[in-house]
Structure 1
Amino acid sequence: MASVNPFRDINVTASASQYTFRSPSSPNAPALVIDRPSGDMRLVESPKAEGKRVTSIAGIMGMIRLRLDKYIIIITKALLVGRIRGHSVYKVQAVEFLPLQDRHLHDPDEDTYLSLLRTHLRTGPMYLSYSFDLTNSFQRQSTANTSLPLWQRADERFFWNRHVQSDLIDMRSSNPAVDPYILPVFFGYLNVSTVTIKSTSLTFVLITRKSRHRAGTRYFTRGVDEAGNVANYNETEQIVILGDTSGSQSVQVLSYVQTRGSVPVYWAEVNNIKYTPKIHLKSLELAKNSARKHFDEQIRLYGDNYMVNLVNQKGREERVKAGYENMVKMLPMGDSKLVDRLHYIYFDFHHECGGMKWHRVQLLIDKLGDGLHEQHYFHSVEGGVTNTVRNRQKSVVRTNCMDCLDRTNVVQSVLARWTLNRQMIDLGVLQKGENTAGFENFEVMFRNAWADNADVVSRAYSGTGALKTDFTRTGVRTKAGALADLSNSITRYIRNNFADGPRQDAYDLFLGVYLPSTSSNISSSLLFVDRRPILIQSIPYILYAAMFLVFAAFVLPRPTGSGLISIRIFALFWLAVGLWAASFIWNHGMLYVNWPKLNVPGFAADGYNEALGKAKKDKIVGKWVERGSFSSGAGGGRERGSSISGGNIRLIHLEEGKKRIE
């Protein structure tokens, strides 16, 4: 019978005709053989010693087909980060790609695909365990069928490498012995700490699992999709285990789960290099079915949903707040089961906590009222061969702000603290009136764990660490923290406008939202080449040159007489050129955003077309924009930005990715 757990150790042997994977600690298990260059897979009981051993690996991340070849992604290094109930958990440290073909010539698109994937796997925090299901909360695990292989028990939402494991999973239908080679990995945050409160030793675990559905970056992935998946959806579980480190025969596990996710309507913030992009909100009627699917699943998984909305009620965010509230009113109409299961709570975070009075977030607990008390938490007692579930968490708090990052992080940490105090009092570790904040060693660990969690979730979505973490780490809002937030905000602006396109492409490529092998429309072109008109591409360089020349005019030795006048005229000329170039870029910002190249949002293609149309009407350079168009590739030789039927200006590489493969 095949093992239900993945192999902890695998040796890889490579030859010109195949790769062979086998576990030295399980010599009786069949080896996995992958033929080259076909990619055909089979299990072999006694494979011939062929080729040379490449390395000993921590597991197979999966296999992915790109434009020209198929690659096996292997985990070459995994770092032990702790143990949960005796099960070791690891963080992925390094991966490698094993090609099925020996490619002597480089293809630019293939190289870009590989670069995107390597960056994603290097920077995305991913965790695994060979014997413990990290994708499921303790409450879900309590009802799981433990006779199933680990990967079949995994929550498909958080099985991050599910797409790249699809070849092995498909093989499983005919040969269950492949199960130990299928290793589920989750993307997010994991902290395991052993601390003491009073004389009670406990293990504190904080896990945040990022959903692989509708994953992406801050401005390119917002709202809900047709399947009911929302952007930046994360499940956070705070776990306390008592008796695990003392060798006690009775071990108590307490778990509390929260979720976060984008406002479930069709909305977007369209990048145009302005600091505050314009908000687009589509008809709520169009999004009604999608929002219903979202909450139907949330109720099925978690019970009642307490929807805490932190979006501002004034200014640019007000439209999103109103859209959410109107959607909540629309949902129960014609669906009685939602009436009593959805509980909407609005909390004006910036108004209530303005002036650095962030302790006032405690007012939200009063707003939640009895719902927070009745929600309870999961509590099980494990002893010997029996496990007893004493309590189950009956509902969940679903928190959101605009990005589901900074304000959401603060609120989630406060709710987690409130529940932790309740748990410790219920167990008799603390007396009524006591607070875990009174124990310095525990307090430092707790605050840093939640602040680190905030940073990880924020980097995955916005590209920078979270804002407001000074409050999470220290309990007070500080001026130094406000300055750090200013620095992070500036960095976010730069990355979200000029660096997030490749990050979104990497998400879509790894998760299978974009499939290079089925995209026939790029077969004869280079997908990642910049095909904007040459003049459009050159204007930032004109700006840089003008700034340099003006600077040079001021710092170089100055002549006297007529020479000084010439230098001043020279400086004024290039100052005027620089100001014009900066104005052009600012007024046609959508032409300079680094858009995704693989699956481009419809608003990006439409906005680019509109901006290019305006550029062609520019009084100074408009007549040269069309003449300077770059002719190549994807459009069958048609100039990028040239007129297509009906006079519409189309950006071909944006149009190619406009349809998402879900």
Structure 2
Amino acid sequence: MPTAAAPIISSVQKLVLYETRARYFLVGSNNAETKYRVLKIDRTEPKDLVIIDDRHVYTQQEVRELLGRLDLGNRTKMGQKGSSGLFRAVSAFGVVGFVRFLEGYYIVLITKRRKMADIGGHAIYKVEDTNMIYIPNDSVRVTHPDEARYLRIFQNVDLSSNFYFSFNSVLSYSYDLSHSLQYNLTVLRMPLEMLKSEMTQNRQESFDIFEDEGLITQGGSGVFGICSEPYMKYVWNGELLDIIKSTVHRDWLLYIIHGFCGQSKLLIYGRPVYVTLIARRSSKFAGTRFLKRGANCEGDVANEVETEQILCDASVMSFTAGSYSSYVQVRGSVPLYWSQDISTMMPKPPITLDQADPFAHVAALHFDQMFQRFGSPIIILNLVKEREKRKHERILSEELVAAVTYLNQFLPPEHTIVYIPWDMAKYTKSKLCNVLDRLNVIAESVVKKTGFFVNRPDSYCSILRPDEKWNELGGCVIPTGRLQTGILRTNCVDCLDRTNTAQFMVGKCALAYQLYSLGLIDKPNLQFDTDAVRLFEELYEDHGDTLSLQYGGSQLVHRVKTYRKIAPWTQHSKDIMQTLSRYYSNAFSDADRQDSINLFLGVFHPTEGKPHLWELPTDFYLHHKNTMRLLPTRRSYTYWWTPEVIKHLPLPYDEVICAVNLKKLIVKKFHKYEEEIDIHNEFFRPYELSSFDDTFCLAMTSSARDFMPKTVGIDPSPFTVRKPDETGKSVLGNKSNREEAVLQRKTAASAPPPPSEEAVSSSSEDDSGTDREEEGSVSQRSTPVKMTDAGDSAKVTENVVQPMKELYGINLSDGLSEEDFSIYSRFVQLGQSQHKQDKNSQQPCSRCSDGVIKLTPISAFSQDNIYEVQPPRVDRKSTEIFQAHIQASQGIMQPLGKEDSSMYREYIRNRYL
């Protein structure tokens, strides 16, 4: 009987596109190249997409024979080797999707990727480069004059800029990026009875060759494999894959998210702890700063981003045996019908309420979605200005207060929406108020209400000597740990600068509780100017810069140092440049970017006989679809929530075990050695030759290497408060210098490995180096990965010859004191007395030997030294194993056990059958 559950790993992780005049053949395989699938794409249809998936799993030999037959069958003359009928077009790592404008379809392939994070052995990749290939043959192509313009608009969405995926996220995946860690681990810990019933409903999908042989039931080594549907709100290529979703096997579907992903290593006395930050940008009502404000008619708000911080002990890789913790918070525009007119070319266009909503209908839809995904309580931290000479931001505050007050009167008292208004800009101008101290108080109250997720029960020391704040912590306590119930929703006007600082302070408070829950600190409190907080602050600044570039067109203007009032004078000039860059982007390039987003997400579909995208005066009707049709039946203005959702609060309805959620799961039964669930094989890849220089865990940002001071006598704890002149930044140099040194080192050390002779691609020409995977390389500001030589190179450049006192703590030119010399002499005598003297050597005089102390060991260890070692005793079992090994070399074999037979049969099946 199966006794465990594991995420399913996709069998399509490498792709090769082969081309003939009539068809494209997309060959996909797993990393070990033991299982293959083939997709056939017709090229004779000018406007329709015809795809054939036989859903057969091929071996390497079968694929070789298939490609050989295709090559022979498509040559112009039988037996003529000079004109091959099948040639290799491109290598890739995944299919982004298929898109059509006014002519035929294009296929978009990921040709280059970079590893950005590692969560429980599951790699998260960033899209580095893509290739867009036109499918129909030139002989059947029907040209259109506007096709090239649509193609340029579509390609304005830079897929190499902060798009992420995991093999394979979503329907067939190793880690689902569209869901939180809490959801992913909750699914894996479902009761076995639920998994059995769900597997029975999908019996056709769960067929396993070993079931007929009885190996699973007899050996009891079966494992449930689980995969779930994606949360489509955070998937950006869903529209591009809709056309093939019902046609091809789910392993071909690779969903990507847009936002940010960064990971750093916190080294606590040699114990590695990974801090990961993931931001998921919503694909609903997406757009640029001034062109997308407020909410649409379905309750989706502009600039909605879900930020999750994950803490894991990297000493143990498994999700079931390891220690993992996470905390989630959200940012998003004020859920009202409002906008700003940018035609006046003002730095701050006036805020306009476009539509009266006295019953807060759009806010009700928005908060109902949040109840379903996050549970209760929902806490709103509103940072917009409240006191202004001329009403500007205050308009939003007044309307939001009215909407929340109206909605709360119908909710149960224990699940009402918590509203926290705080004029952050006003407190920043005050000399008597510390902004971050006030934010820290708010953060403490928020985390105590929502709690956080951790997959292990409270440690014995926290139960025996609990901290006062730990007893007041909210959330849901379960036998296997804690669940976060509820969410913090932070907003200002743009949801950029002020919001990012507030989220950092809440994340810093939650990080302290996460470290305390894993037994890494004795109190749930973290101080500024420690290595841990500086590492975490850099992650959040990279996170804020990336989201600001995506929505506002520039990096952050006000950072954490700005609100701490410790930013250098040069920062003011940088802030001015960022402000000008943001203004220029909003005024001149936002309209083109908005058109590209609308086309990429499928909000606008080009159609013959209808206005083109660039001819539309506004995209309002594209995002508010109810304005162009009859109004749908609205839900009650008093019972504005979904009944099933409110029934299970404070737990999020998406994580409740019920019939609706079970239908979103696909459960299969595997042998425990199957590659689809073997995360050890997926992570370590024993079939590949690797180098420590390219190992991701050694290349990522480390608190010990990049933040800890390099002087002697410094406390190595990352939780020790450092003085500004003690920080590792002063030794390593600034960030740009370190990144430049990293890039130079990577360029010199990242020579691609030689291609395998056993690979299927050996029958054709190799692709260029741009198709190869780069897992240890370094990106720009959004990538926290740095190689180990960066800090050393900067240090040597600054000071080639350093004083001996600074390096070793002593000055060797000074003579030893009498006390030190006496201690050293005693040490030498003790060492001489413990070693056997040579027979030919001169015997020491009795006067010298009388002063030597004879030490008698009291332990059970042997008295080994550099001259002789006593042979260890070998137990009986080890002796039998060695004898069996000797006999095997002589042809005398021992009988195999059942488990060894099962493992060998599995190896033969994967390798040759």
TM-score grouping bracket, smaller chain normalisation: 0.7 to 0.9
Q: Deviations over 1:95-133 (max 9, x none)?
A: 111112356897553222222222313453101110211
The 2-side partners of 1:473 and 1:352 are apart by 10
Distance, in Å, in 1 between the alignment partners of 2:226 and 2:245 is 12
SS in 2 for 1:209: strand
1:49 partnered with 2:70? yes
| Change beyond 3 A, Cα 1:601–1:215 | closer
Task: Report matched runs for 1:376-455 at 5 Å.
Answer: 376-381=451-456, 389-432=480-523, 435=526, 437=528, 439-440=530-531, 442-455=532-545
Q: Does 1:20 align with 2:63?
A: no
In 2: Cα distance, 1:357 partner to 1:16 partner = 75
**Structure 2 residue matching 1:167: 3-state secondary structure:** coil
How far apart in 1 are the matches of 2:595 and 2:160? Answer: 14
- Provide the C-alpha distance between the structure 1 equivalents of 2:359 and 2:562, rounded to a whole number of angstroms: 35
One-letter identity of the residue aligned with 1:308:
L
The one of 178, 184, 192 equivalent to 2:255 is 184
Partner of 1:581: none
For the residue of structure 2 that corresponds to 1:171, the secondary structure is coil
What amino acid sits opposite 1:280 in the alignment?
Answer: T
Does 1:201 pair with 2:268?
no
| Alignment counterpart, residue 110 of structure 1, candidates 144, 147, 150 | 147
Structure 1 portions without partners, runs of 5+ = 173-177, 532-594, 603-662
Confirm whether residue 136 of structure 1 aligns to residue 179 of structure 2.
yes
The code of the aligned residue for 2:385 comes to: N
Instruction: After TM superposition, give the deviation of residue 40 of structure 1 in Å.
Output: 0.6
| In 2, Cα distance between equivalents of 1:228 and 1:31 | 41
Q: 2:41 aligns with which of 12, 34, 37?
A: 34
* Structure 2 CA distance for aligned equivalents of residues 358 and 61 of structure 1: 50
1:38-187 to 2 correspondences below 5 Å = 38-44=48-54, 45=56, 49-50=70-71, 51-102=86-137, 107=144, 109-122=146-159, 124-130=161-167, 131-144=174-187, 152-172=228-248, 178-187=249-258
Give distance in 1, aligned partners of 2:525 and 2:319. Answer: 26
Given that 1:425 and 1:432 are in contact with CA atoms closer than 8 Å, whether structure 2 keeps it comes out as: yes
| 8 Å Cα contact 1:228/1:293 also seen in 2 | yes
Residue 201 of structure 1 contacts residue 246 of structure 1 at CA under 8 Å; is this kept in 2? no
**Which structure 2 residues correspond to residues 111-510 of structure 1 after superposition, within 5 A?**
111-122=148-159, 124-130=161-167, 131-144=174-187, 152-172=228-248, 178-244=249-315, 250-272=321-343, 273-285=345-357, 288-303=360-375, 304-313=377-386, 314=388, 315=390, 316-333=392-409, 335-337=410-412, 340-354=415-429, 359-367=434-442, 370-381=445-456, 389-432=480-523, 435=526, 437=528, 439-440=530-531, 442-469=532-559, 471=561, 476-510=566-600
Deviations 1:535-586 (A, max 9, x none): xxxxxxxxxxxxxxxxxxxxxxxxxxxxxxxxxxxxxxxxxxxxxxxxxxxx
Q: Mind listing any 5+ residue stretches in structure 2 that lack a counterpart?
A: 1-6, 57-65, 72-85, 168-173, 189-194, 203-224, 458-477, 625-913
1:512 aligns with 2:522: no
Counterpart for residue 580 of structure 1: none
For the residues of structure 1 that align with 2:108 and 2:235, how far apart are their CA atoms?
16
Whether the 8 Å contact between 2:446 and 2:488 is mirrored in structure 1 is no
Cα deviation for residue 244 of structure 1 reads 3.5
Following the alignment from structure 1 to structure 2, what is the Cα–Cα distance between the partners of residues 219 and 72?
A: 32
* Structure 1 residues 208 and 359, CA gap change in structure 2 (3 angstroms): farther
Q: Is this contact kept in 1: 2:117–2:263, CA < 8 A?
A: yes
How many residue pairs align between the two structures?
522
Deviation, structure 1 residue 154:
2.0
2:847 match: none
For each residue in 1:240-269, what CA deviation from the matched residue of structure 2 results, as whole angstroms up to 9, or x when unmatched? Answer: 101436899942101010001100000001
Deviations 1:585-608 (CA, angstroms, capped at 9, x unpaired): xxxxxxxxxx77897789xxxxxx
In the superposition, relative to structure 1, how do residues 18 and 91 fare at CA in structure 2: closer, same or farther (>3 Å)?
same
Q: Judge conservation of contact 1:61–1:74 (CA < 8 Å) in 2.
A: yes
Could you list the per-position Cα deviations for residues 25-75 of structure 1 after superposition, in whole angstroms to 9, with x for gaps in the alignment?
Answer: 456544111111332111145575253111210100001111222111111
Letter in 2 for 1:375: T
SS of the equivalent of 1:374 reads helix
Query: How far off is 1:421 after superposition?
Result: 1.4
Q: Which one has the bigger helix percentage?
A: 1
Change (3 A) 1:527 1:396: closer
- For residues 144 and 427 of structure 1, the distance between their equivalents in structure 2, rounded to whole angstroms, comes to 22
Q: Cα deviation per residue 1:312-358 (whole Å; 9 max; x = unaligned)?
A: 1124111111111111112234x324873310000110011226889
Q: Which residue of 1 aligns with 2:895?
A: none
For the structure 1 residues 157 and 477, does the alpha-carbon distance in structure 2 shift closer, same or farther, using more than 3 Å as the test?
same
Q: Flag the 1:466–1:150 CA change in 2: closer, same or farther, 3 A.
A: farther
1:571-650 → structure 2 map (5 Å cutoff):
none
CA positional deviation for 1:478: 4.1
Distance 1:348 1:379, change over 3 A: same
Partners of 2:285 and 2:623 within 8 A in 1: no
Which moves more between the two structures, 387-396 or 266-275? 387-396
Are 1:521 and 2:610 an aligned pair? yes
Larger Rg: 2
Could you tell me whether the CA contact under 8 Å between 1:160 and 1:186 is conserved in 2? yes
Please tell me the residue identity of whatever aligns with 2:558: K
Which one has more relative contact order, counting CA pairs under 8 Å at least 6 apart?
Answer: 2
* Contact preservation (8 Å) 1:5, 1:150: no
Aligned mates of 1:473, 1:360 — CA distance in 2: 6
Once the two structures are superposed, the pairs formed by residues 553-564 of structure 1 within 5 Å of their partners are none
In structure 1, distance between residues paired with 2:431 and 2:275 = 29
8 Å Cα contact 1:358-1:471 kept in structure 2: no
Judged with a 3 Å threshold, the aligned counterparts in structure 2 of structure 1 residues 357 and 41 are, in CA distance, closer, same or farther, namely farther
Whether contact under 8 Å (1:210, 1:232) holds in the other structure is yes
Judging changes above 3 Å, is the alpha-carbon distance between structure 1 residues 135 and 375 closer, same or farther for their aligned structure 2 residues? Answer: same
Stretch deviating more after TM superposition (268-277 or 350-359): 350-359
Distance 1:357 1:19 in 2: 69
User: In structure 1, what residue type is equivalent to 2:10?
Assistant: N
Map of 1:549 onto structure 2: none
Q: Closer, same or farther in 2 for the Cα pair 1:6/1:248, shift >3 Å?
A: closer
Seen in structure 2, the aligned counterparts of structure 1 residues 282 and 192 have a Cα distance that, compared at 3 Å, is same
Q: What is the one-letter code of the residue matched to 1:62?
A: G
Shift of 1:427: 3.3
- The one-letter amino acid paired with 2:285 is R
Q: TM-score, normalised by structure 2?
A: 0.53
- Following superposition, the deviation at residue 150 of structure 1 comes to 8.5
Q: Secondary structure at the match of 1:184?
A: coil
Q: Which amino acid aligns with 1:234?
A: V
Between stretches 32-41 and 246-255, larger displacement belongs to 246-255
Contact 2:11 2:36 in 1 (8 A): no
